[in-house]
Amino acid sequence: MAHLTTSVEYGIHCLLWLVESQAPPSSRDLAELQGVSPAFLAKIFPKLEKAGIVTASEGVRGGYRLARPAETITFLEIVDAIEGEKPLFDCQQIRGRCALFQGTPPAWSTDGVCAVHAVMLQAEKAMRAALASQSLASVHAALGRKAPPEFTGQVQQWMSDRLSGRRPGRTARSSEPSG
C-alpha cells in the first residue's frame, strides 16, 4: 500500500478535467467519464469544496467548478485537502522514557526537537516543497501536450450531452444517476 491513498489520485484527475470544462459536471459525470466509482468520488468532492478548491452550484445545470485559477491550486493543497495534512512521522517522545531516568526525564533529554524527528521533518519538508511546486495548471499543460488537438472538443461534447440529458431535481453533490 502506498502512503497516499487512491482518493488523492482520483481527486487530482477530477480536478484536471475541471481545468477546461465549460458546463460544470457533477461528481457522477466525472466518475462515469473516468470509469471510477461514483460513490467513491462523491466522498472526495466535499473535502475539495471545504478546502476552497472547488465550488458547487445547485440545480439542473449545476455541478462543480474550480474555485480559483488552476495556476494557484498546488498539488500540496489538494493532497492536504484529501488526506488531511497527515505528517510523515509522529514522534512519540521515546527519548524521555529511558529506564535510567526512572520516570523523571532530565531537561536535556527532552529539550527541543528529537534528532530523529528532525530528520523526518526535513524529509517531509522536501516532499511538501516538491508537491507545492506543481500546480493543477502545470500538470494539465503536460497532459494536454500528449492528447491530440480534437480530444478537448470531444470531452466537452460528452459533457454537454450528459448535461442536456439531465432531469430536474439533481444536485452537483448527488451520487445518484440523474436520468
Minimum CB–partner distance for residue 115 and its own copies (Å): 4
Q: Tell me the closest approach of the beta carbon of residue 47 to its own copies, in angstroms.
A: 17
For residue 67, what are the CA distances in angstroms to 45, 46, 157? 12, 13, 23
Antiparallel, parallel or unpaired: β 54-57 and 63-66? antiparallel
The residue whose grid cell reads 492536504 is 80
Nearer to its own copies, 142 or 169 (CB): 142
d(CA 13, CA 26): 14
Shortest spacing between CB 84 and its own copies, in angstroms: 10
Least Å from the CB of residue 40 to its own copies: 11
Of 1 and 179, which CB lies nearer to its own copies in the complex structure?
A: 1
Nearer of residues 108 and 167 to its own copies, judged by Cβ:
108
Is the Cβ–Cβ distance between 170 and 26 less than 8 Å? yes
Binding site for its own copies (CB under 8 A): 1-4, 6, 8-10, 12-13, 16, 32-36, 75, 86-92, 94-95, 97-100, 108-109, 111-112, 115-116, 118-120, 122-131, 134, 139, 142-143, 146-148, 151, 154-155, 158
Nearer CB in complex with its own copies: 17/49: 17
The cell for 175 is 451520487
Query: Amino acid identity of 144?
Result: G
- Toward its own copies, which CB reaches closer, 35 or 168? 35
The CB-of-49 to its own copies minimum distance in angstroms stands at 21
Rounded CA separation 71/40 (Å): 26
Close Cβ partners of 17 (under 8 Å, ≥ 6 residues apart): 25, 30, 33, 34, 155
C-alpha cell at 117: 524527528
